[in-house]
Amino acid sequence: MLENKYNIGETEKKWEKFWQEEGIYKFDKNSNKPTYSIDTPPPTVSGELHIGHIYGFSQADMIARYNRMQGKNLFYPLGFDNNGLPTELLVEKKKKIQAHSIPREEFTKIALELVDGYNQNYRDMMVRAGMSCDLSLGYNTIDNRSQKTSQKSFIDLAKRGIAYRENKPSPWCTKCRTSVAQFELEDKDLDSIFNYLNFKLADGSGTIPIATTRPEFLPACVGIFVNPEDNRYKHLVGKLVKVPLFEDRVVKIYADSKVGIDKGTGIVMCCTFGDQTDVEWWKEYKLELKQAIDDGGRMTEICGKYAGLKSIDARKAVIEDLKAANYIFRQDPICHTVKVHERCEQPIEFLSKKQWFIRTSTPQLKQTWADLGNQLEWHPESMKTRYMAWVNNLNQDWSISRQRYFGVPFPVWYCKKCGKPNFASIQDLPVNPLSTEFKGKCDCGCTQFEPESDVMDTWATSSVTPQINTNWAEDEVGSNKKMPMDMRFAGRDIITTWCLRTIIKSYYHQGCLPWKSLIINGWMMADKGIKFSKHLNNSKMGLNEIMETYGADVVRYFSANGAYGRDVMFNEEGLKDGYKLLNKIFNGSKFVLNFLYDYEPKKPKEILPIDRYIMHKFNQAYEKTCAFYNDVEMGYAKAEIEKFFYFFCDNYIELAKNRLYKPEIYGQAAKESAQWASYNVLLGMLKLLGITMPHITEEIYQNYFKTYEKEKSIHLTTLHPIDIENENIIEKGDEVIEIISKIRQFKSENKLSLKTEIESITISNSNLEFIKQCEADIKAVSAVRNINYATCNFNVEIGKVVE
RNA sequence: GGGAGAUUAGCGCAGUUGGUAGAGUACCUGCCUUACAAGCAGAGGGUCACAGGUUCGAGUCCUGUAUCUCCCACCA
């Protein structure tokens, strides 16, 4: 028997425990069923979880559950991404150790131990939210399997010339002492001062005005630029200019259309490197490379007396000296946007370092990425546009070197004599070249090697999750058979980064897409226009509080709202809607089960018309719901079956109630007919509702249906329509519902109780056969004593009320 | 600055190819109906962001504007 009142927390936790202990969601290696494989994106575990995290995952889980109930064997892992900077910083902070102070292996070991606790919290919350992942399939991107996969990927690409090493200026964070990728940068508004300087022409013919916010870069000034269309300065092109404070140095004036005539003074100094434009000019005009700032943000020896100062202090000193020497003729305070490293908010510098790159940006490759994008099944389709636009604008190869200590090392040693990179053997992976000698000889005969000390960017590893999942490092043939995986889900912000990179790697290694379909979810917004954010800490309700009050089923219900891929706004009202359905499912089921506990399902010889009708009506809702799930529209699917559930309760239960209660009046056969319909329809509804609300549906299944359905969990049953003979009955049944509705309307308008008895009604219709068959049910539900019939257009006339 | 999406009832959202604006919730009116008042029945409520245009007809197509979200670029 079900409890009188549904206890959300207790019941949900009970079944979560059951699912884990019984291995309900375990992937079965030996199964004959077709596999449905999901490349779950491994989350970076840091900070508090908020309801926004649950949003995307629970939507994907609904697709997983739908496929499982289609009879598929689910490969649905939950890994964690923890080989990057956030983990390194977390370990340093929590364990109070400097990464560099201990061997990399040891640091990694400590990291894995520490991260395990965080992973467990995350896993617990995923389980608590009703995710049906197989936790035994998890991985850490810093574990041996992931490292091996990532290193093998690198060696494969490097040996084929797809990965190459080159000296390239790239964004650098002097605080984290690492190069950073373009997409790790964000904008920040900072106050600064625009300094107007007079540069002396080398021939003594005068001065030219240049405005700069970074005067400390003067020692790295390698050229002056004006716009070729600028009539004021055209004549200066080709002349030489003395660098202020460093007057033994002269630089040439160039003309380039990238100079904005209206900006500043219209004359720009190019320093290596102040910004991206400097990088481009340096490359294009083959300028000298003068590095003014070192890895840690201090001035280098080329800066003379400023060497060793932090750049910010050097700036003050330089400005003082410029003022003293009368170079500055104007200073304007400005607020401008600078690129900062998203993790530490430190303004970035451009430094030139030897880095490994992966080729991604030639026109042919771009065409390949576009072709692959077209082969991929996008949900929703409109998201493809973003991908295509990005691919089209791709103009840089992918930098994968990071000058950090913690991470997946490059398995490479450079020959001390000729510099050639020598790679580790695949069977030795994973290796750390800092602690392992290269065994062998370079082609040049040399046996002395310099190990690579850099590690790979975390994306280099998180882009091979399909290869980690399919065990490509150990079994290429087996992996190839499993590729592409069936599905990947992701937030729409990472289509162009994570998704594209994963596509690139799968193409290079296995010549195919990583997945057949990509499902993009929107964001859950905290309030109008405001995203949930770790920085803002703006969750109105904490996740634990929400789970306590409403439970996972309700959170999942809320997550299913709206059209797929769209943002939704968090509001407690939305949770209350889910709570209503939860309550309704419990009460409706409790009522029906009362009449089923002593019933063994057996198809009766004769099924009454209303009972046949509700089963056909269910099949109709079933088809619609499944069609929505096939189109990855969880919101519409949920709404469809929810609508039908309410219909079932408000109409069918009311109609069948009397027959179920009073077999002595309506007959035992009439009761059994209603039992048969109730059994099938309720079970069918629970299965479909269970995709969104797995806990409550399990509770009800276990309470009764399990005895007759064999499967040990409702989530292992398969979806199918009710087996019933084909019959054109839905329209006729709908007419009966309309008759009842008209009588209810009459009573409501006349402010009567629904129990109020009515003397007689007259039903008119062109064909009265079906309605006549339902007479007993209509009378019972509407409290009508007599029904008269007339043959003409459909109409219901309501007679006198019994006083 | 460029690209993509959004803007519809008090609220959070649906609206397929152009043809009288939809459910839920809230509010309101009633009803304790042998499961559920966290329920049931019923009613009201919208210049479809704004301004133009195409069309016999526009929430839907086109152009522009505003606001929000995401992505990219620029920032001397």
- Please give the helix or strand (H or E) that residue A247 lies within, else none: strand A246-255
Q: A559 pLDDT exceeds 80?
A: yes
Note the pLDDT of residue A532: 58
Lowest-confidence region among A163-172, A453-462, A523-532: A523-532
Confidence of residue A47 (pLDDT cuts 50, 70, 90): low
Nucleotide nearest to A533 (CA to C1'): B69
Cα–Cα nearest to A130, from A4, A7, A24, A2: A24
Q: Is the CB of A323 under 7 A from strand B?
A: no
Q: Is the CB of A120 under 7 A from strand B?
A: no
Q: A534 pLDDT exceeds 50?
A: no
pLDDT digits (tens, 9 = 90+) for A221-261: 999 988 888 888 888 888 899 998 888 888 999 888 778 77
Q: Which residue has the higher pLDDT, A496 or A245?
A: A245
Q: Is the CB of A584 under 7 A from strand B?
A: yes
Peptide bond into A484 cis (omega under 30): yes
Confidence of residue A536 (pLDDT cuts 50, 70, 90): very low
pLDDT digits (tens, 9 = 90+) for A511-520: 999 999 998 8
Q: A120 pLDDT exceeds 60?
A: yes
3-state secondary structure of A131: coil
Q: Which residues contact A183 (CB under 8 A, 6 or more apart)?
A: A496, A497
Q: Is the CB of A339 under 7 A from strand B?
A: yes
Q: Is the CB of A232 under 7 A from strand B?
A: no
B67: residue with closest CA to C1': A529
| Percentage of the residues of chain A whose pLDDT score is greater than 90 | 50
Q: Which residues contact A402 (CB under 8 A, 6 or more apart)?
A: A85, A178, A179, A454, A455, A456, A457, A458
Quick one: average pLDDT of A702-706?
96
Q: Is the CB of A63 under 7 A from strand B?
A: no
Confidence of residue A563 (pLDDT cuts 50, 70, 90): low
Quick one: average pLDDT of A674-680?
97
Quick one: average pLDDT of A550-558?
92
Quick one: average pLDDT of A777-792?
92
Nucleotide nearest to A189 (CA to C1'): B75
Q: Which residues contact A495 (CB under 8 A, 6 or more apart)?
A: A383, A386, A387, A390, A518, A520
Note the pLDDT of residue A355: 86
Q: Which residues contact A133 (CB under 8 A, 6 or more apart)?
A: A25, A40, A61, A64, A76, A77, A78, A126
Q: Tell me the DSSP string of A277-296.
A: HHHHHHHHTT------B-TT
A 598-627, residues with C-beta < 7 Å of strand B: none
Nucleotide nearest to A266 (CA to C1'): B76
Interatomic distance A586 CA / B60 C1' (Å)? 40
A650 near A659, Cβ under 8 Å? no
Q: A28 pLDDT exceeds 60?
A: yes
Quick one: average pLDDT of A750-773?
91
Peptide bond into A644 cis (omega under 30): no
Interatomic distance A329 CA / B51 C1' (Å)? 48
Interatomic distance A644 CA / B19 C1' (Å)? 30
List bases in chain B with any atom under 7 Å of a protein Cβ.
Answer: 2-6, 10-15, 23-26, 29-36, 38-43, 67-76
Note the pLDDT of residue A799: 85
Confidence of residue A541 (pLDDT cuts 50, 70, 90): low
Interatomic distance A624 CA / B35 C1' (Å)? 28
Interatomic distance A641 CA / B60 C1' (Å)? 28
B72: residue with closest CA to C1': A390
Interatomic distance A521 CA / B39 C1' (Å)? 35
Interatomic distance A720 CA / B41 C1' (Å)? 34
Confidence of residue A380 (pLDDT cuts 50, 70, 90): confident
Q: Is the CB of A300 under 7 A from strand B?
A: no
CB neighbour burial string for A182-193, b if at least 16 within 10 angstroms, e if fewer: eebbeeeeeebe
pTM for this prediction: 0.88
Quick one: average pLDDT of A65-83?
95
Note the pLDDT of residue A77: 96
Q: A535 pLDDT exceeds 50?
A: no
Interatomic distance A95 CA / B14 C1' (Å)? 52
Q: Is the CB of A28 under 7 A from strand B?
A: no
Confidence of residue A526 (pLDDT cuts 50, 70, 90): low
Q: Is the CB of A687 under 7 A from strand B?
A: no
Q: Is the CB of A189 under 7 A from strand B?
A: no
Q: A181 pLDDT exceeds 70?
A: no
Interatomic distance A131 CA / B75 C1' (Å)? 45
Q: Is the CB of A385 under 7 A from strand B?
A: yes
A464 near A153, Cβ under 8 Å? yes
Q: A266 pLDDT exceeds 70?
A: yes
Note the pLDDT of residue A161: 94
Quick one: average pLDDT of A541-567?
82
Distance set, CA A55 to CA A15, A245, A386, A521 (Å): 21, 58, 22, 8
Interatomic distance A373 CA / B51 C1' (Å)? 38
Q: A209 pLDDT exceeds 70?
A: yes
Q: A3 pLDDT exceeds 50?
A: yes
Distance set, CA A21 to CA A15, A306, A511, A568 (Å): 10, 66, 39, 34
Confidence of residue A183 (pLDDT cuts 50, 70, 90): low
Q: Is the CB of A574 under 7 A from strand B?
A: yes
A 469-528, residues with C-beta < 7 Å of strand B: 492-493, 496-497, 523, 525, 528
Interatomic distance A640 CA / B43 C1' (Å)? 25
Nucleotide nearest to A558 (CA to C1'): B12
pLDDT digits (tens, 9 = 90+) for A29-45: 999 999 999 999 998 87
Note the pLDDT of residue A348: 81
Interatomic distance A690 CA / B36 C1' (Å)? 20
Note the pLDDT of residue A664: 93
Interatomic distance A528 CA / B41 C1' (Å)? 35
Interatomic distance A278 CA / B75 C1' (Å)? 13
B12: residue with closest CA to C1': A574
Distance set, CA A367 to CA A149, A350, A571, A588, A651 (Å): 27, 30, 43, 56, 57
Q: Is the CB of A661 under 7 A from strand B?
A: yes
Q: Within 10 A of A348 (CB to CB), how many other CB atoms are there? A: 21
Interatomic distance A276 CA / B74 C1' (Å)? 10
Q: How far apart are the first and last CA of chain A?
A: 40
A225 near A270, Cβ under 8 Å? yes
Quick one: average pLDDT of A62-71?
96
Note the pLDDT of residue A40: 94
Confidence of residue A527 (pLDDT cuts 50, 70, 90): low
ipTM over 0.90: yes
- DSSP conformational letter for A345: -
Interatomic distance A634 CA / B26 C1' (Å)? 25
